[in-house]
Amino acid sequence: MPELLKQAGYATFHFGKWHVGDARPEYKPLAKGYDRFVGFLAGYLGSYTNPWLLNNTRIVQYGGHLTDILTDQAVDVIDNHAHDEPFLINLWYYAPHLPLDPHPRWAEKYPDTDEGKYAAMVSTLDENVGRIMRAVESAGIKDNTSIVFTSDNGGADSTHPTGNGDLKGYKGELFQGGIKVPLFVKWPGRIPAGTFNHSLVTTVDFMPTLTDILGIDAPPTDGQSLTSALFQGAHLDKKLLFWENVTQGTYTYAVRDGKWKLVRHRYEDYLYDIVDDPNETTDLAAVNAGVVVS
């Protein structure tokens, strides 16, 4: 995606977590089309406070809290590039991932418990998203800037003070609590405020959506453009979706086909009518064996 947007004249930036490859130089952000990278290449960072981060290729210790530092980088781009060239910012916050290390200004507002620390980290994140929104508005570019907010997975398991509502399962599992996440898209003048769309979409749809909006020729992908859903409110369906995960040596997968969702979890198959049973309360595998093996 950044390589394609660079060809269309975009400046490209990645700030935050990069957990999609670091074994060789060609897997890293600067080799994937980003002009600048400030962040870390692992799946886990030991502390949010005064973190050591990569600034392109140099390791630098930054003072302050990670969530604030990453926002500072993005706000600097917005302030300095808004009227020079179009830009793409991937701002991949780490919060509220473990460790529970909130900024003191928010920690003091909540109890000194895991639940309180987690709430403080979410508040820090919320505050910094607000900083991004205000920077875009102050730069005078809110009407031609699309802001996308989503997550890579649902809340962690019961050892972590999160909740997935009535959804079954947690991060690392392929029940809805592990893979169903919010998606917000803000674009004044293009997307009516306060509207909802219940189409089934995934993050692999982002690239074809952006290239479609910009009129960029792009190679085929597993994703589909969301423009009709975003701008006309159309409902989009996917015929098949697949997930897979290996956790502690156990291979799990899920398949979504229309109303049916099949989950292989701990060597057992579970089948749900996800339309009528979105919280996956009733396993229908035994009475729909033909669907399971089809």
151-177 pLDDT per residue, tens = 999 998 866 777 888 999 999 899 999
pLDDT at residue 260, as a whole number: 95
pLDDT at 149 over 90: yes
- Residue-wise pLDDT tens digits, 87-139: 999 999 999 999 999 999 999 999 999 999 999 999 999 999 999 999 999 99
Q: What is the pLDDT of residue 294?
A: 65
Which pLDDT does position 270 carry in this prediction? 97
266 vs 101: which has the higher pLDDT? 101
- The answer, yes or no, to whether residue 224 has pLDDT greater than 70, is yes
The residue ranking higher by pLDDT, 196 or 248, is: 196
Beta-strand pair 11-17/241-247: unpaired
Confidence of residue 293 (pLDDT cuts 50, 70, 90): confident
Q: Output the pTM of the full model.
A: 0.94
| Average pLDDT rounded to a whole number, residues 223-237 | 93
- Decide if pLDDT at 247 tops 80: no
Is it the case that residue 248 has pLDDT exceeding 90? no
With contact defined as beta carbons under 8 Å apart, do 170 and 155 qualify? yes
Percent of the chain exceeding pLDDT 70 equals: 99
Mean pLDDT computed over 272-284: 97
Mean pLDDT of the 44-71 span: 97
Q: How far apart are CA 13 and CA 30, in angstroms?
A: 9
